[in-house]
Amino acid sequence: MTETIPVTLTVKKFFDCPACGQGEFRYDHLEPGRSWGSWACDECGVWIDGTISAAGLPQVKYSEKLPNIPTLVLLRLRKPLKDGAFVHAVIEAKCHDGKEDLIGSGDEFLYNEHTCPTNWLGIAIIIDGEDTDPHGVFEWVATVKRPDDWDMDNERDFDGLCELFPALREACTVIDGELTPPLIVAPVG
Ligand SMILES: [Zn+2]
C-alpha cells in the first residue's frame, strides 16, 4: 500500500432538460455570455435555447415538442489526412421536425456551422489551433432515415453502410479488411 495521496477531481457540468428532466446537456465548454439555439432534447424532443450567465449558469427556454424520426447522418472530416484521404463519421441522430420529407433539412447548417462536435463525438473537448469550440470540424454529407433494424453494434460492415450512403463507396476503399480512411460510427451525444 502506498501513502495516502489526494486525487484529482474532474467536474463535468450538465443541465437537465427543463421539459422532461431526463435529457442532459453538457455546457462547461461554453463561456459566460455565450448563447446557443437550439439544442434538441433526445428524450422528449423539445428545442432548448439558452445563454450562459455571467455567473456561468445556463439560462434556458424551450419550444413545443415534435415527434422524433430516427436518422443516420454521414459526416466528413473537413481537413484531409496527410495522404489526402478524409475520415468519415456515421452518427445516430433524430429529425425533430416530425415529417419524413423534412429529414436532412437543416442538417447542413446544423453540422457545418451550428452544433459543437463534442455533442455527438462523446469526447471532452476538440481543439483546432486556439479554438476550443470549433464548429464544422466535420462537414455534412447526407442524412437518411435510420432503418428499423439498425443496430449500431452490428452495422459496421462497409457494404451495408454504402447501401445507405452511396457517397461512401466513392470516398473509401477497403484494404485487407480495414477501411481506409477510417470510419467512425458513433451514437449522438
Ligand atoms: Zn426533454
Q: In which region does residue 164 sit, left (phi positive, over 0), alpha (psi from -120 to 50) or beta (all else)?
A: alpha
Rounded to whole angstroms, the Cα distance separating 184 from 189 reads 14
Residue 62 CA, ligand 1 centroid: distance in Å: 9
pTM as predicted: 0.61
Rounded to whole angstroms, the Cα distance separating 65 from 53 reads 25
Identify which of 40, 22, 135 has the alpha carbon closest to the alpha carbon of residue 78: 135
Identify which of 44, 115, 123, 134 has the alpha carbon closest to the alpha carbon of residue 73: 115
Residue 40 CA, ligand 1 centroid: distance in Å: 8
Instruction: State pLDDT tens for residues 166-183.
Output: 888 777 666 555 655 566
Grid cell listed for 35: 448563447
What is the three-class DSSP state of 167?
helix
* CB-based neighbours (< 5 A) of ligand 1, an ion: 17, 19-20, 23, 41, 43-44
The pLDDT of residue 30? 92
Question: Would you kindly state where each structural domain of the chain is located, as residue ranges?
Answer: 14-62, 69-186
pLDDT of 184 strictly over 70: no
